[in-house]
A and B are shown apart, each in its own frame.
Chain A
Amino acid sequence: MDSLIQGFIKSVDLIFHLDPVLFGIIFLSLKVSGLALLIATTLGLPLGAVLGLKHFPGRDLAISVMNTLMGLPPVVVGLFVYLLLSRKGPLGFLGLLYSPTAMIVAQTILAAPIVTALCHSAIVNVDPIIRQAARTLGATSGQETLAVLREARYGILSAVIAAFGRVMAEVGAILIVGGNIAGYTRVMTTTIALETDKGNFELALALGIILLSISFIINAALHSVQQRGAAVPA
């Protein structure tokens, strides 16, 4: 218990003294997860919109696949990306293994199905009359789609925030493909795992506090978005 309290005090000290190692790790975490989220949203939102608005053969199967992929085990994704990027793998010539890029790829694979499935769900729940109303007022098919996306904006934002929460807390996949190299691929979650193993609880706790704070901010934002959406009748 003593070490926990002391660790907690030291962690607060590290945070308030702007420890460069600590902030380097935080910055890399936010950079990797932020870029992964950006790519996942760029892919997932249009895909979710297509699944929500278009009817085509195999649509139901695609929705089921996306819903299943939401629960992808991170270590499986890590293994898959590792095999893809390892020297003997099909993309080994790119030399990306154990780099932040490889971590972004892994996190994108984890986040994209979440963005896609939750965006699909938000879009499909928009009253079909909205699309009809836009059409009656002379909207082109692109403008109709935008009208629907605007209606689903709170749900879409929730999807993006939920995906960010998932990638920020992820450890298995990025540990496998990033290698936890100090100053290069070491992020918050992998550092917590490593420092805990070493018995160095100060840094682990400091990062734990920051990770929890980020998670709290994300959840508060999500709650606020959901409340705003719920305040207006659907």
Chain B
Amino acid sequence: MKLVIDHIRKAYDGRTVLKDCSYAFGGSGVAVLMGPNGCGKSTLLRICSLLERPDGGELHFKDNGLPLALDMQLRRRMTLVLPRTGVFKTSVFDNAAYGLKIRGFEKKLIAAKVNEVLSFVGLLHKVKQNARTLSSGETQRVGIARALAIDPEILFLDEPTASVDEENTGIIESLIGKMKRDGRTMVIMTTHDREQAERLADRLLVLEHGVLRETLR
């Protein structure tokens, strides 16, 4: 799936956040959006993941060159992991299974998929634990597992390591590295950490003064 954003604009209460953002995302790999706090990175991710509408400009999703309708079906082919993962007040298993349950998957398939993603993020041993009792780093990993369970074609990660310790930052970065090697998912993430961006990015983008531009590593 390809995502093209075309002259996207967004303002809140008269304050322009995104002035003119255009870019074509495609293929697998990791695209990293950089920029200082409050520059509009999260807003751009929310618009790209169809959770928010832009004030102007257009989004185009294409599959094998064919345009896709911006509907619920398309929204379910991608997901966004928030900077502070809101885990449900239930077990790690139920959290990881949520996206599959609401899509009506069978129990057996859900169990297999949840085991797979929890192994991937290294939390299989905490499958029965209440997700609210995990550390912030583990919580973020549950958020990633929950997102990967639905096999998204595009995975948006909004500051995935902003609120986690160094150890979990390393784990999350290695998970992103694994996804990159798997080549099944297009990852579009934001960070304000230049070094992290350079470590992870296949494509590095900078959002400054509401304008998006690709930059050299």
Instruction: Mark A residues whose CB is within 8 Å of B.
Output: 127, 129-130, 132-140, 143, 147, 150-151, 232-234
Instruction: Mark B residues whose CB is within 8 Å of A.
Output: 49, 51, 72, 75-76, 79-82, 84-90, 98-99, 102-103, 130, 132-133, 143, 146-147, 150
Contacts of B132 in A (CB 8 A): 232-234
Given contacts A138-B76, A138-B99, A138-B102, contact A133 B88 (CB under 8 A): yes
Complex CA distance for A137 and B146, rounded to whole angstroms: 8
With both beta carbons as reference points, the residue of chain B lying nearest to A129 in the complex is identified as B86
Cβ–Cβ contact B75 & A138, under 8 A = yes
Cβ–Cβ contact B76 & A133, under 8 A = no
Complex CA distance for A20 and B193, rounded to whole angstroms: 77
Cβ–Cβ contact B88 & A138, under 8 A = no
Complex CA distance for A129 and B139, rounded to whole angstroms: 13
Cβ–Cβ contact A151 & B89, under 8 A = yes
CB of B44, distance to nearest CB on chain A (Å):
15
Report how many A-B pairs have Cβ atoms within 8 Å: 59
Contacts of B89 in A (CB 8 A): 150-151, 232, 234
CB of A168, distance to nearest CB on chain B (Å):
29
Sample 29 A-B pairs with CB under 8 A, ordered by A number.
A127-B86, A129-B82, A130-B86, A132-B51, A133-B85, A133-B88, A133-B143, A134-B98, A134-B102, A135-B51, A136-B81, A137-B79, A137-B102, A137-B146, A137-B150, A138-B75, A138-B76, A138-B79, A138-B99, A138-B102, A147-B98, A150-B89, A150-B90, A151-B89, A232-B89, A232-B130, A232-B133, A233-B132, A234-B132
Looking at the complex, which one of A136, A151, A234 makes contact with B80 (CB distance below 8 Å)? A136
Residue from A133, A137, A140 having most chain B Cβ neighbours under 10 A: A137
Residue from A133, A139, A147 having most chain B Cβ neighbours under 10 A: A133
Residue from A136, A139, A150 having most chain B Cβ neighbours under 10 A: A136
Complex CA distance for A138 and B101, rounded to whole angstroms: 11
Other than the given A133-B88, A138-B103, A143-B102, 11 more pairs (CB < 8 A) read A130-B88, A132-B82, A132-B86, A133-B85, A134-B98, A138-B75, A138-B150, A140-B72, A140-B102, A232-B130, A234-B132
CB of A154, distance to nearest CB on chain B (Å):
9
Complex CA distance for A140 and B73, rounded to whole angstroms: 11
Complex CA distance for A134 and B146, rounded to whole angstroms: 11
CB of A167, distance to nearest CB on chain B (Å):
29
CB of A108, distance to nearest CB on chain B (Å):
30
CB of A50, distance to nearest CB on chain B (Å):
22
Complex CA distance for A234 and B88, rounded to whole angstroms: 10
Complex CA distance for A116 and B133, rounded to whole angstroms: 30
Given contacts A138-B150, A233-B133, contact A133 B102 (CB under 8 A): no
Q: Which 10 A-B pairs have the closest CB atoms?
A: A129-B86, A133-B86, A138-B76, A137-B99, A136-B80, A233-B132, A130-B86, A232-B132, A143-B102, A232-B130
Given contacts A138-B75, A232-B130, A232-B133, contact A133 B99 (CB under 8 A): no
Contacts of B85 in A (CB 8 A): 133
With both beta carbons as reference points, the residue of chain B lying nearest to A233 in the complex is identified as B132
Complex CA distance for A140 and B72, rounded to whole angstroms: 8
Complex CA distance for A114 and B23, rounded to whole angstroms: 53
CB of A117, distance to nearest CB on chain B (Å):
22
Cβ–Cβ contact B49 & A136, under 8 A = yes
With both beta carbons as reference points, the residue of chain B lying nearest to A128 in the complex is identified as B86
Cβ–Cβ contact A133 & B82, under 8 A = yes
With both beta carbons as reference points, the residue of chain A lying nearest to B143 in the complex is identified as A133
Complex CA distance for A127 and B89, rounded to whole angstroms: 11
Contacts of B130 in A (CB 8 A): 232
Complex CA distance for A151 and B81, rounded to whole angstroms: 19
Cβ–Cβ contact B86 & A150, under 8 A = no
With both beta carbons as reference points, the residue of chain B lying nearest to A140 in the complex is identified as B72
Complex CA distance for A6 and B80, rounded to whole angstroms: 70
